[in-house]
Structure 1
Amino acid sequence: MKDSIIKAIKENRKDFTDKEDLQPFIDSIKDKKVVMMGEASHGTHEYYNWRAKISKTLMEEHGFDFVAVEGDWPSCYELNRHVKNYLDEEKDTKTALKEFKRWPTWMWANWEVHEWAQWLKEFNSELASKEQKGFYGLDVYSLWESLDAIMGYLKKEDPAALETAKTAMRCFEPHRGGDGQQYALSTRLVPEGCREEVNDLLKEIRSKVPTYNSDPEHAFSTKQNAIVAKNAEEYYRVMASGNESTWNLRDRHMMNTLNRLLEFHGKDAKGIVWAHNTHIGDASFTDMGDQGLFNIGELARDEYEKEHVSLIGFGSYKGSVLAGKSWGSPVETMNLPEGRENSWEDLCHQAGKQFHINMEDLKSSIEIDTRIAHRAVGVVYNPQHERFGNYVPTTIQDRYDHFLFFDETQALNHIDMEAADAQIPETYPFGL
């Protein structure tokens, strides 16, 4: 079977070195409602750079409205206001990226995103305000940041609703810090936690949003922050109870956020998602599905039907990667070992160097009736232990619609926000 799979990949791969080589691939995804682009790690230059290149083409030439990423809503929304040239965001891009304060900061505070944001800011400057392209966060973690953003907005726009926000804040305040961990621990003693207060806050804001007319997107963001606060409270409370998985809560939140963004941008809106392969590659075709877990890739196929969604995996055989040895530890450039024998990465390595493959083409050449080990590197990573983990058993031709393979990749170029003058990589700009 191994030799047959390698042969089938060789027969169907499309080598690429620039965007022009990917034109047939672009043509196959340009009319989709949702295009999701993955990554096998959160710290690889090529994944970020090529997602940006493809997204640029989809926005410039095919009317896609926004990129939504595996990031926090408040910090991504600040970058969104920056790239849309709002008058209250007259700061340089590097300063805007300082909003990404929660570990792992390097996921979005990096030179690859810096280049993307500068291009997007310039592109938007030529567009009417309603046509400008957005950048948003899908994630659920930002309990404190979302509460702070709500307080700031209501102080200016709706002082009458501020008391409800203060009530919620007073409930959470004793547990502030630790990325929600302290609050999670507190719910072991008081299981209800601040559920009632945060639900009241969401109800208040939902009822008032139609009256916030001065800045529709800012009003939308305030409502989203209230939803994040509600769902984050549930996420941390469930995490502490240990009674059920928080994975599905998180991905359901991300999918619902994507739905709201598409609705906000109009009935013909088209969106792009950047997230890890474990989120965008259909979970039902992995051992995650065996455990009752789903993800946004699977949910999007269910929500919008498979023909209107494209799930695009990214992966590599070897190289270097940014990650931390433990949660909250300093970021490091680590070695990315050669892919495990007989893994998807190993098979691709034996089939070519840098290529795109359409999974429909692969299916037409071979029926792969077994799951293949497929690498997944998180923000916490230990290369020495990789062969004992970091691989997801996958029915590869069904999990994705397309796959982009890179034989050797390099670590992401993070921005040291603590340095007075962060060193710019010699290869910057990378070229979009």
Structure 2
Amino acid sequence: MGSQGPPLKDMLHDEDPRLLAELKSRSRELAFEDPLDDLIDRIGDARFVLIGEASHGTSEYYSWRARLSQRLIVEKGFSFVGVEGDWPDCYAVNRFVKGYADGGDHARDVLKRFNRWPTWMWANWEVVAFATWLRAHNERLPVGHRVGFYGLDVYSLWESLDAVLIHLRQYHQQAVPAAMKAMACLHPFERDPQNYAMSLRYVSEDCEDEVVRVLRELQLARPDFPDDVESHFNAEQNALAAVGAERYYRTMIQNDDSSWNVRDTHMTDTLDRLLVHYGPTSKAIVWEHNTHVGDARATDMAEAGMVNVGQLVRSRQGRDDCFIVGFSGYGGEVIAGDYWGAPMEAMSVPAARDGSWEHLLHSADPMDRLVLTSDLRDVPEFRRRRGHRAIGVVYHPDRERWGNYVPTDLINRYDALIAFEQTSALHPLHLNERSLVEPPETYPYAL
């Protein structure tokens, strides 16, 4: 996740005491008592609040993101949370938090169903705490006004087609043959997207037409379901996810930048459809990695022709209607894998390298801090690009000298940055991808 930054020798090293004093005076200590008041005030009436994370395995990013989301939901009436997760898995969480009869009674039971690597990304105690809180909050609201939880991502080709087929067999028997034809086309690839993508290197025939036909058949019928208003919407979203996933895997093998753009455009389109589903006054919270929510135009991603969710939302909706919050950490621990599909492990995160935003914040004042980036705008030195750490699900701490930093114009990438001095590892539900663990002593993380 994230692009490699410039070599260490090219990074900024200025530690001018006056610059550090300016940064300290223009940021706020993240004290325990009402630390988010200033941030809530600055968000104002924005319809979109995009909340990032500098890794997919850091406890503080998840728990503080949840705290901010709680306040946005309670105080500002936000309608749903859209996350960097697949639609089918996250829709099960949506059923739980809205109290549907088939949604289950315990958040842990719902989230432990996330069995695609990296399981810890959503199957963790921090998300259990938030989902449990959201269920209790929704129980006090009328059914039609309950806050949802949805996956915006694009990986669920087979899982989404499975869900569509179940829906069609129940409500649209005439469209079942189209779904079966799509499944038959994909059958030789054994439900492995890598097999599907790799096959297109050697043969030109793909399953695009078959998957698109399923969506068209489904869109022809839009019946009312008075007992479950989301049933048809869910099926259509699964069909759209399957179309997006097929396109993503088809482009992935040819061009990484193009597949990135397919993915982030799909996530933004899904966000737009959710807003239509919830109505003209709806408001959206988004949880994704900094590399997705932080405006790509303020990084080196733009030079590579890449777009992301933050850029697209700002472009489509207007900058004043979109507020972006990033996260960072100077050092600590993180849950990640040594390679794709590797067992999860807690890894040490070394002190941030010289010249990075993390190092500058540490040098200014080694405390957890909130930075409202517009407060930095009139200082020229703060408008320069610096490295900003980005850790993905695969991580090698010993290679930080050469990578893991995205050159970032902080003022234009985010509207706010929450910076931690030391972070701790996320708390997975699964000990080794299969065995479940009990909640840690710090659960439920002040939620």
Fold conserved (TM > 0.5)? yes
CA distance in 2, matches of 1:392, 1:88: 43
SS of the residue corresponding to residue 388 of structure 1 reads coil
Map of 1:207-356 to 2, 5 A cutoff? Answer: 207-210=220-223, 214-242=227-255, 245-352=258-365, 353-356=367-370
Superposition deviation, residue 243 in structure 1: 8.2
The farther-off stretch of 224-233 and 213-222 is 213-222
Alignment equivalent of 1:105, drawn from 119, 140, 148? 119
Superposition deviation, residue 367 in structure 1: 4.6
Give the corresponding residue for 1:196.
Answer: 209
Q: How big is the alpha-carbon RMSD for the aligned residues of Structure 1 and Structure 2?
A: 1.6
CA distance in 1, matches of 2:32, 2:140: 26
Q: Do the aligned partners of 2:30 and 2:369 also contact (CA within 8 Å) in 1? A: yes
CA distance in 2, matches of 1:244, 1:16: 36
Superposition deviation, residue 427 in structure 1: 1.1
CA distance in 1, matches of 2:19, 2:28: 16
Give the corresponding residue for 2:9.
Answer: none
Give the corresponding residue for 1:119.
Answer: 133
Alignment equivalent of 1:55, drawn from 50, 61, 69? 69
CA distance in 2, matches of 1:217, 1:387: 48
CA distance in 1, matches of 2:141, 2:446: 22
Superposition deviation, residue 300 in structure 1: 0.7
Structure 1 position 404 matched with structure 2 position 394: no
Q: Do the aligned partners of 2:383 and 2:410 also contact (CA within 8 Å) in 1? A: no
Structure 1 position 11 matched with structure 2 position 56: no
TM-score normalised over the length of structure 1: 0.96
Q: Which runs of 5+ in 1 are unaligned?
A: none
Q: 1:125 to 1:164 in 2, by over 3 A?
A: same
Partner AA of 2:67 in structure 1 = K
CA distance in 2, matches of 1:232, 1:318: 35
Q: Do the aligned partners of 1:144 and 1:176 also contact (CA within 8 Å) in 2? A: no
TM-score normalised over the length of structure 2: 0.93
Superposition deviation, residue 340 in structure 1: 0.4
Q: 1:111 to 1:243 in 2, by over 3 A?
A: closer
SS of the residue corresponding to residue 334 of structure 2 reads strand
Alignment equivalent of 2:94, drawn from 58, 63, 80? 80
Give the corresponding residue for 2:218.
Answer: 205
Structure 1 residues 330-349: Cα deviation after superposition (integer angstroms, max 9, x where no partner):
00000000000111000011
Q: Do the aligned partners of 2:112 and 2:429 also contact (CA within 8 Å) in 1? A: no
Structure 1 residues 117-141: Cα deviation after superposition (integer angstroms, max 9, x where no partner):
1001111111111110000011001
Q: Do the aligned partners of 1:146 and 1:225 also contact (CA within 8 Å) in 2? A: yes
Give the corresponding residue for 1:431.
Answer: 446
Q: Which runs of 5+ in 2 are unaligned?
A: 1-13
Structure 1 residues 263-293: Cα deviation after superposition (integer angstroms, max 9, x where no partner):
1111011100010000111111111111111
Structure 1 residues 135-193: Cα deviation after superposition (integer angstroms, max 9, x where no partner):
00110011111011111122222222211111111111111333x11111222233241
SS of the residue corresponding to residue 253 of structure 2 reads helix
CA distance in 1, matches of 2:322, 2:436: 42
CA distance in 2, matches of 1:145, 1:91: 23
Q: Do the aligned partners of 2:257 and 2:305 also contact (CA within 8 Å) in 1? A: no
Partner AA of 2:356 in structure 1 = S
Give the corresponding residue for 1:184.
Answer: 197
CA distance in 1, matches of 2:323, 2:435: 42
Superposition deviation, residue 17 in structure 1: 2.5
Give the corresponding residue for 1:384.
Answer: 398
Q: Do the aligned partners of 2:51 and 2:324 also contact (CA within 8 Å) in 1? A: yes
Q: Do the aligned partners of 2:257 and 2:306 also contact (CA within 8 Å) in 1? A: no
Q: 1:184 to 1:160 in 2, by over 3 A?
A: same
SS of the residue corresponding to residue 303 of structure 1 reads helix
Higher helix share: 1
SS of the residue corresponding to residue 377 of structure 2 reads helix
Superposition deviation, residue 65 in structure 1: 0.5
The farther-off stretch of 215-224 and 139-148 is 215-224
CA distance in 1, matches of 2:21, 2:52: 25
Structure 1 residues 204-253: Cα deviation after superposition (integer angstroms, max 9, x where no partner):
11111345555221211111111111111111111123486211111000
CA distance in 2, matches of 1:213, 1:28: 40
CA distance in 1, matches of 2:257, 2:428: 35
SS of the residue corresponding to residue 67 of structure 1 reads strand
Partner AA of 2:287 in structure 1 = W
SS of the residue corresponding to residue 368 of structure 1 reads helix
Superposition deviation, residue 66 in structure 1: 0.7
The farther-off stretch of 409-418 and 211-220 is 211-220
CA distance in 2, matches of 1:54, 1:420: 31
Q: 1:188 to 1:211 in 2, by over 3 A?
A: farther
Q: How many residues of Structure 1 are paired with residues of Structure 2 in the alignment?
A: 431
Give the corresponding residue for 2:85.
Answer: 71
Q: Do the aligned partners of 1:5 and 1:366 also contact (CA within 8 Å) in 2? A: no
Structure 1 position 144 matched with structure 2 position 158: yes
CA distance in 1, matches of 2:36, 2:46: 16
Q: 1:339 to 1:421 in 2, by over 3 A?
A: closer
SS of the residue corresponding to residue 364 of structure 1 reads coil
CA distance in 2, matches of 1:309, 1:65: 15
Q: Do the aligned partners of 1:19 and 1:54 also contact (CA within 8 Å) in 2? A: no
Partner AA of 2:153 in structure 1 = D
Q: 1:68 to 1:226 in 2, by over 3 A?
A: same
